[in-house]
Chains A and B, each alone.
Chain A
Amino acid sequence: MFSLKPPRPTFRSYLLPPPQTDDKINSEPKIKKLEPVLLPGEIVVNEVNFVRKCIATDTSQYDLWGKLICSNFKISFITDDPMPLQKFHYRNLLLGEHDVPLTCIEQIVTANKINGIPSGGGSGPGGGGVQKTPLFETYSDWDREVKRTGASGWRVCSINEGYMISTCLPEYFVVPSSLADQDLKIFSHSFVGRRMPLWCWSHSNGSALVRMALIKDVLQQRKIDQRICNAITKSHPQRSDVYKSDLDKTLPNIQEIQAAFVKLKQLCVNEPFEETEEKWLSSLENTRWLEYVRAFLKHSAELVYILESRHLSVVLQEEEGRDLSCIVASLVQVMLDPHFRTLTGFQSLIQKEWVMAGYQFLDRCNHLKRSEKESPLFLLFLDATWQLLDQYPAAFEFSETYLAVLYDSTRISLFGTFLFNSPHQRVKQSTEFAISKNIQLGDEKGLKFPSVWDWSLQFTAKDRTLFHNPLYIGKSTPCVQNSSLKSFKRTKKNYSSTLRGMPASLKNGIISDQDLVPRRNSLILKAKPDLPQQPESQNSGMERYFREWFSKPANLHGVILPQLSGTHVKLWKLCYFRWVPEAQINLGGFITAFHKLSVLADEVDVLSRTLRQHQAGPLEACYAELDKSRMYFRASGPHDASGTPEFLSSSFPFSPVGNLCRRSISGTPLSKFLSGAKIWLSTETLANED
């Protein structure tokens, strides 16, 4: 589909070849012979030999020599030299360690991504793992979700099949049963973007979470609003009222969030640390980022109260209903429903509340570098999720590495998941492309792009185990508790096993009712609440709800609520500092604890498998199971013998070593390339290549 033209000689090396004389003779042809690894359909746009890559902050001793190529997907540095100073890296299968996808680079216009993608089915959606992530593209996915949450009074509606009603809604979505398709069609005209109310989730008490856009038709506003609210009330088993939350009024807007993120990036990556040395905390505060993260967590927690304790259905209102609502709707569900704290559940949540709900990934991520609408709302959501993970380390199936990798994946333009503004856009654009290229679509609606949830495209099975949180206690863990052992008494002396507030007690991984009875180690929390501050009298109910919740042990398979004081909302260091060499602690950081915990968890896994084997007799299935491990670090693996692996650092599995160093980038050929590139590399240039 592409004719591979010989690259135009627009790159020039301004450097002398490596100074070593003996090498010089050999190195020249050697470097020229280096071949880039290309994906199918990827084309080399340009290349240059004798490029030096600076990889250490303080010395040029480790610099690598090689060839720099630029394709329509990535910038790739190719070298024969092995990486010094680095005994480990996890591998992305699409990108080598010296590769940067073009979409990752700020200030550069990228290729037209649709052109670059290999078409023709691909490996299909869904995770490579056991469980498939529901994509919510079909009727049945929605239907299953409605049934899973036990929502009565709600139905899947298919009036938008073929995007006949709205181009920014999914083809299928869920509405109150009492609203007929005909009514919906009429109402839809009054909503911004024809985005009528979308059901997100239902609490087991019947309260539903609904998101909708504003009603632009002023005359009809009250009437329609009334109808919708009545319908939602009718869908509630207790016919209780609807609580409306106007997100535009209560939360920071997308411009403010973008401004905060720009400042945060400036602070964490772009500025030399000397300048912020004395003022680190106030600079951090000046970005407002943490304040915003906190605001979203707080607002979501308040809605949790409404849904859970006041038994009211909540309607999230926002102008277009496809930005702040995505964050709030997802956070509320992460807090309320343990299903969304599993890996598959979390992915389905993102499909449901972001991809299908029409979050404008193309504009907000600014994939085409020409959007004024850039805003890191998705990152803010991941950051807020990280805060919850940090506060409840055992409540999530996935690790912070997973969250960071997920964020990175929004910047790799190969996946259809985070590429478009809406499902409709994906279908439309790719169909047009297919027609222009004479690609047979068959029955498919548009081209199938690889899904980001198919992690096997990016990572090996081994690397994917890094996504698993060793502390997570799954529901499936068997309870071998013998009833006679249940009442623990103090046998020796009275000591509390903890210093402070304790996590919920564990009984072989299961929180059981008995645990509410204090036992010897007094695992019961006696914590006081950290209340979202509210005008006192009005919100005393909310205050009481939070206080009561915080005074009980946290049930990891129930609701979790964030703590919101200044000491609890933290900077997500792994995400923002992982490429900064100065911030790296060798053999330190949380990852060392993660390593030990993984080994422990693996040991437990192995033991329980062996146990099951004993009980069940020699079952073949168990053998297959035995070589599979959830954990990256294995109990009996090679790492264990040597103790903490030498390659661990606080940035693991990311490594700032070998990547572009902030300080040495200016003045290097790469920096020249980057600034020069602005001139020649543009969409038009690439378009002409076709």
Chain B
Amino acid sequence: MEHIRTPKVENVRLVDRISSKKATLGTLYLTATHVIFVENAPDTRKETWILHSQISTIEKQATTATGCPLLVRCKNFQLLQLVIPQERDCHDVYISLIRLARPVKYEELYCFSFNPKLDKEEREQGWTLIDLSEEYKRMGLPNNYWQLSDVNRDYRVCDSYPTELYVPKSATAHIIVGSSKFRSRRRFPALSYYYKDNHASICRSSQPLSGFSARCLEDEQMLQAIRKANPGSDFIYVVDTRPKLNAMANRAAGKGYENEDNYSNIKFQFIGIENIHVMRSSLQKMLEVCELKSPSMSDFLWGLENSGWLRHIKAIMDAGIFIAKAVSEEGASVLVHCSDGWDRTAQVCSVASLLLDPHYRTLKGFMVLIEKDWISFGHKFNHRYGNLDGDPKEISPVIDQFIECVWQLMEQFPCAFEFNERFLIHIQHHIYSCQFGNFLCNSQKERQELKIQERTYSLWAHLWKNRADYMNPLFRADHSQTRGTLRLPTTPCNFMYKFWNGMYNRFEKGLQPRQSVTDYLMAVKEETQQLEEELEALEERLEKIQKVQLNHTKVKSKQSEPSKHSGFSTSDNSTANTPQDYSGNMKSFPSRSPSQGDEDSALILTQDNLKSSDPDLSANSDQESGVEDLSCRSPSGGECAPSEDSAKDRDSDEAVFLTA
């Protein structure tokens, strides 16, 4: 690759953040998609993989006697401190990474080269796993009050909205178009969630272009139509999620908020969630607290408070609680907006939906929720998460905050969610990883133009396939707690919101709890499953023995077939180290001589690689690419032993090993 100035640096030290004295010596590789650090220690050869798209900042620090330190901060809160012996090498790595971490074209992103070895059909199926029209049907739509509108066909009215939208039946195309002209970026009020128990709904839009006195008849009619679509209530709430001051400042720019006098039967409400810039710096401050080497109790608590992060989380939760209460208890419909209606509005609508509807607390339902409130309604993933090189001021942890809100709820209601913490962490990881196409671009329109569905894979299918990893063992669908609305106290209870160690310190193993109830249950569950499998296998074997009456020794001897050593097909892609040939998680990178026992290498594999179905589980993250390239270069070189003796249990395409 033209951007890689040096593909490999030896004798690099990876510094342990917690005990600074401890550092591991190893080799650093740069590939087209990853930075890889491989420990020299022969017995472990632990690898650390970092996707380029995860790199947030790279900092070159002053050269010391031991070498040139390079600090790599990742968007998934991993922090890598490398010491490179030669200043020149360090500079080369630095320059290369700066470029690699900031792609300018979508085509440079990992998802366009990532190939999990699925055929076309499977890929297409993956994309149909989450179907929004099904979701609206589940809500009970269309019905007498709401209909599917084609007004935004070909994105004629609003280019950041989806084409399929639900609007009140009484809202004609004329009203919609008129209303859209009176709203920022033409994001007119459209349905986000319909609560079929009492016909109340949550609608979303952007701010009105009201300035100090402007009015728009169609917009007023639009709000009226929303109110009329809920016969149970004679008013609607209009919730502006901005602080009042911000909203008022917008009036000077010809924008602003609804005047209660102009709209009939609305109750207007401000809920002060700060803007993306405040949130960005708040996260920054909190991460500084996380980076403290050994914070005292007061460093930690003061730092956390001064970051304001938990206060912001609470503001979002409060807005969601307010809306959920209005809908479920007062039976009133709510229109939510902020400025453009794609950040705070998305947060608040999805939190409210999550509180209201237990379906969104299931694995699939949660995917639907993100698809609905975030992806389809034009949350600007590319800008917010800096997938392509762009304005740093556009970057902000908007969806991170939503994900944290969900976690806070999970902490308060440990049995109400079908999924676990890991599910959230993996979603957060992939929002930044660009390994799957779901979160690319800023709108549905852009995604369609890029033909994302034809060229990339869907994360949802991947997560669904591995759903066993994401189940909350405490969840049971039939329990009363998992049905109905989650009710939280609305009184000021800041103490309910906690620092999310599992997310922000997730690469600091030393800071992770040694035991958690969930982990415990998961382990027990897996153990049980394993035993059952074992039992099944043994029963089968017993049957065989009895049937064929073979003598003992023969049965006991290993029945392993010769493992498949399918050589990798040369990829048609010109870039040298794309992951095309490399699939799944099965590779055993550290080479072992084939003479070693099969069982041995299986153990080594589990111990060293701690591989998981997902690449980011362990600190040695992505292993799904570039391996052939690397293996050839790796000092021990040569052969990879089959990693297991039970190759027969495996899908053949999962086993792509190299032969020297």
Which of B455-501 touch A at CB < 8 Å? Answer: 466, 469, 474, 476, 478-482, 486-489, 491-496, 498-499, 501
Contact of A587 among B480, B496, B584 (CB under 8 A): B480
Interface check A97, CB cutoff 8 A: no
**Shortest CB distance B346–A (Å):** 25
Looking at the complex, which of B134-142, B220-228, B410-418, B542-550 is the stretch in contact with chain A? B410-418
Please, which residues of chain B bring their CB within 8 A of the CB of A491?
Answer: 530, 533, 646, 649
Interface check B612, CB cutoff 8 A: yes
**Shortest CB distance A499–B (Å):** 4
A584 vs B654: C-alpha distance when bound (angstroms):
50
Looking at the complex, which of B119-127, B370-378, B509-517, B565-573 is the stretch in contact with chain A? B509-517
Q: A489-B599, A506-B527 are in contact. Are A563 and B301 (CB under 8 A)?
A: no
**Shortest CB distance A658–B (Å):** 17
Q: Are A496 and B612 in contact (CB under 8 A)?
A: yes
**Shortest CB distance B454–A (Å):** 28
Interface check A543, CB cutoff 8 A: yes
Please, which residues of chain B bring their CB within 8 A of the CB of A217?
Answer: none
Please, which residues of chain A bring their CB within 8 A of the CB of B479?
Answer: 643-644
Residue from A494, A526, A588 with most neighbouring chain B CB atoms (10 Å): A494
A563 vs B508: C-alpha distance when bound (angstroms):
13
**Shortest CB distance A407–B (Å):** 19
Chain B interface bracket (under 10, 10 to 19, 20 to 34, 35 or more): 35 or more
Contact of B509 among A281, A489, A500 (CB under 8 A): A500
Interface check A673, CB cutoff 8 A: no
Please, which residues of chain A bring their CB within 8 A of the CB of B492?
Answer: 273-274, 277, 582
Q: A489-B646, A494-B611, A643-B481 are in contact. Are A285 and B606 (CB under 8 A)?
A: no
**Shortest CB distance A474–B (Å):** 15
Q: A517-B603, A565-B300 are in contact. Are A503 and B414 (CB under 8 A)?
A: no
A642 vs B479: C-alpha distance when bound (angstroms):
7
Q: A499-B421, A529-B19 are in contact. Are A587 and B487 (CB under 8 A)?
A: yes
Interface check A586, CB cutoff 8 A: yes
Residue of A whose beta carbon sits closest to that of B530? A488
Residue from B305, B487, B606 with most neighbouring chain A CB atoms (10 Å): B606
Please, which residues of chain B bring their CB within 8 A of the CB of A646?
Answer: 480
Contact of A393 among B16, B517, B603 (CB under 8 A): B517
Q: A490-B605, A495-B585, A499-B421 are in contact. Are A506 and B530 (CB under 8 A)?
A: no
Please, which residues of chain A bring their CB within 8 A of the CB of B476?
Answer: 596, 643
A596 vs B520: C-alpha distance when bound (angstroms):
14
Q: Are B412 and A650 in contact (CB under 8 A)?
A: yes
Contact of A568 among B494, B513, B530 (CB under 8 A): B513
Contact of B527 among A394, A507, A543 (CB under 8 A): A507
Q: Are A294 and B297 in contact (CB under 8 A)?
A: yes
A183 vs B508: C-alpha distance when bound (angstroms):
55
Q: Are A503 and B19 in contact (CB under 8 A)?
A: no
**Shortest CB distance A57–B (Å):** 8
Contact of B613 among A285, A493, A519 (CB under 8 A): A493
Chain A interface bracket (under 10, 10 to 19, 20 to 34, 35 or more): 35 or more
Interface check A597, CB cutoff 8 A: yes
A285 vs B501: C-alpha distance when bound (angstroms):
18
Q: Are B19 and A494 in contact (CB under 8 A)?
A: no
Interface check B258, CB cutoff 8 A: no
A493 vs B425: C-alpha distance when bound (angstroms):
21
Interface check A391, CB cutoff 8 A: yes
Please, which residues of chain B bring their CB within 8 A of the CB of A523?
Answer: 523
Q: Are A566 and B16 in contact (CB under 8 A)?
A: no
Which of B49-108 touch A at CB < 8 Å? Answer: none
**Shortest CB distance B210–A (Å):** 31
Please, which residues of chain B bring their CB within 8 A of the CB of A495?
Answer: 466, 469, 585, 611-613, 617
A494 vs B646: C-alpha distance when bound (angstroms):
12
**Shortest CB distance A486–B (Å):** 10
Interface check A21, CB cutoff 8 A: no
Q: Are A642 and B480 in contact (CB under 8 A)?
A: yes
Contact of A526 among B520, B603, B610 (CB under 8 A): B610
Q: Are A530 and B510 in contact (CB under 8 A)?
A: yes
A499 vs B522: C-alpha distance when bound (angstroms):
10
Interface check A527, CB cutoff 8 A: yes
Interface check B31, CB cutoff 8 A: no
Q: Are B495 and A583 in contact (CB under 8 A)?
A: yes
A588 vs B534: C-alpha distance when bound (angstroms):
38
Q: A392-B515, A503-B516, A530-B510 are in contact. Are A566 and B300 (CB under 8 A)?
A: yes
Please, which residues of chain A bring their CB within 8 A of the CB of B298?
Answer: 285, 291
Q: A291-B298, A500-B509 are in contact. Are A521 and B523 (CB under 8 A)?
A: yes
Please, which residues of chain B bring their CB within 8 A of the CB of A485?
Answer: 531, 534
Residue of A whose beta carbon sits closest to that of B506? A500
Q: A501-B512, A501-B513, A503-B515 are in contact. Are A522 and B606 (CB under 8 A)?
A: yes
Q: Are A583 and B530 in contact (CB under 8 A)?
A: no
Q: Are B297 and A290 in contact (CB under 8 A)?
A: yes
Contact with B along A569-599 (1 / 0, CB 8 A): 1110100010000111111111011011100
Contact of B495 among A280, A391, A527 (CB under 8 A): A280
Interface check B593, CB cutoff 8 A: no
Other A-B pairs beyond A276-B494, A585-B412, 8, CB < 8 Å: A274-B492, A281-B305, A393-B516, A490-B606, A493-B586, A498-B519, A596-B415, A650-B412
Q: 8 shortest A-B CB distances, which residue pairs?
A: A566-B300, A528-B510, A643-B479, A281-B305, A280-B494, A285-B301, A593-B414, A582-B491
Listed by A's residue number, 21 A-B pairs whose Cβ atoms lie within 8 Å are A273-B491, A278-B311, A285-B297, A471-B517, A488-B534, A492-B650, A493-B654, A494-B613, A497-B526, A499-B506, A520-B526, A528-B508, A528-B510, A531-B19, A563-B513, A585-B488, A587-B487, A592-B415, A593-B415, A593-B474, A593-B517
Which residues on A are within 8 Å of B, measured CB to CB?
273-274, 276-282, 284-285, 290-291, 294, 391-395, 471, 485, 487-507, 517-531, 533, 536, 543, 547, 550, 554, 563, 565-571, 573, 577, 582-590, 592-593, 595-597, 642-644, 646, 648, 650
Which residues on B are within 8 Å of A, measured CB to CB?
16, 18-19, 21, 294-302, 304-305, 310-311, 412-416, 421-422, 425, 466, 469, 474, 476, 478-482, 486-489, 491-496, 498-499, 501-502, 505-506, 508-517, 519-524, 526-527, 530-531, 533-534, 584-586, 599, 602-603, 605-607, 609-613, 617-618, 644-646, 649-650, 654
